[in-house]
Amino acid sequence: MAEPDAVAAALAAAFLDGPWTADALTARAREAVGVPRARWVARLAGEVTGRFGTPPLDAPRELRAAVAGSPAYAGARDAARRAGRPLRVAHLATGTTRMGRNRFSVPPLDTVDDLAAFCGLDPAQLDWFADVHRFQVRAGGSALHHYRARWVAKRGAPRLLEAPKPRLKAVQRKVLHEVLDRFPVHDAAHGFVPGRSPVTGAWDHVLARTVVRFDLEGFFASVPAARVHGTFRSTGYPEPVAHLLTGLVTHVTPLRDLRAMPDGGSAEARHRLRRNLSHAHLPQGAPTSPALANLCARGLDARLDGLARVLGATFTRYADDLTFSSTTGLDPVRLHRAVRAVVADEGFTLNPAKTRVRGAGSRQVVTGLVVNERPNVPREEFDRLKAVLHNCVRHGPTSQDREGHRDFRAHLLARVARVESVNPAKGRRLRRSFEQIAW
How far is the C-alpha of 39 from the C-alpha of 358, rounded, in Å?
72
> Is-above-0.85 flag for pTM?
yes
Helix (H), strand (E) at residue 5:
helix 5-15
The mean of the pLDDT values for the chain is 94
DSSP-derived secondary structure for 265-329: S-HHHHHHHHHHHTSSB--BTBTTHHHHHHHHTHHHHHHHHHHHHHTT-EEEEETTEEEEEESS-
**342 and 303 in contact (C-beta within 8 Å)?**
yes
What is the amino acid identity at position 2? A
Angle between helices 289-296 and 298-310 (to 10 degrees): 50
- What pLDDT, on a 0 to 100 scale, did the predictor assign at position 154? 85
- What pLDDT, on a 0 to 100 scale, did the predictor assign at position 96? 81
* Neighbouring C-alpha atoms within 13 Å toward the C-beta of 123: 6
- What pLDDT, on a 0 to 100 scale, did the predictor assign at position 329? 86
What backbone phi and psi angles, to 5 degrees, belong to 14? -65, -40
**344 and 224 in contact (C-beta within 8 Å)?**
no
Q: Beta 321-326 vs 210-215: how paired, if at all?
A: antiparallel
**Domains of the chain as residue ranges with CATH:** 6-83 (no CATH), 112-358 (3.30.70.270), 379-436 (no CATH)
- What pLDDT, on a 0 to 100 scale, did the predictor assign at position 185? 96
What is the amino acid identity at position 40? W
Residues of the chain with pLDDT under 70: 1-4, 140-141
How far is the C-alpha of 336 from the C-alpha of 128, rounded, in Å?
44
Residue 379 burial by CB count (10 A; 0-12/13-18/19+): exposed, middle or buried?
exposed
- What pLDDT, on a 0 to 100 scale, did the predictor assign at position 5? 83
Q: Which residues of 303-338 are buried (b: 16+ CB within 10 A; e: fewer)?
A: bbbebbeebebbbbbbbbbbbbbbeeebeeeebbeb
Closest listed residue to residue 439, CA positions, set 404, 414, 413? 413
- What pLDDT, on a 0 to 100 scale, did the predictor assign at position 2? 43
What separation, in Å, do the N-terminal and C-terminal C-alpha atoms of the chain show?
63
**311 and 294 in contact (C-beta within 8 Å)?**
no
* Neighbouring C-alpha atoms within 13 Å toward the C-beta of 262: 13
pLDDT tens string 38-52 = 899 999 999 999 999
Closest listed residue to residue 292, CA positions, set 244, 216, 231? 231
- What pLDDT, on a 0 to 100 scale, did the predictor assign at position 4? 52
Q: Chain centroid to CA 247: how far?
A: 11
